[in-house]
Structure 1
Amino acid sequence: VVVVKDGARPVTTFGPQHHSATHDVVAAQRVVDGTGAGDAFAAGMLTELSTTSHFSQADLARGVAAGNRLAREVVGRAGATLEDE
């Protein structure tokens, strides 16, 4: 699996059997600090993908969405951490 991302632009995934897909992402409404956004995206995506062993296009789409959600949370705060919930 290869994931190509570029900030708030669409994410492209390349999955098994050379299938590729472009995934729109939701831009953060407010960016306070971009530190850790890419790491947060990776953490969210990998956490979602850890629940499957097939990596279908639907799985990759869910992973991108999860990564995007977490990255949006991180950029909305100073520093690269989230408070415990």
Structure 2
Amino acid sequence: MLKEGQTLAKEEKLAEAIDKFKQVENLGGSLDIDPEVGKLVVDFLLEQGDTLGKEGELKESLQNYNLAKKINPELPAFDADAWAQG
């Protein structure tokens, strides 16, 4: 599934790729993916998470951020107060 997700991401089918990565995560698998693919996916997750947050979908927004953080552990810690201030 991880390889399938990476292939989908390279084809810019990011939503489908993220579904695969979520499946891997739910099965307890490693999200050790190609750095180039990881950047595409993380950028998409953060953008999507920001949009969800602005729409009041806070749980989904945070889930996106958490998945992005698992893919790229070097992301800064989530600061809910700073995020809420906009």
**Could you say which structure has the higher helix fraction?**
2
**Could you say which structure has the higher strand fraction?**
1
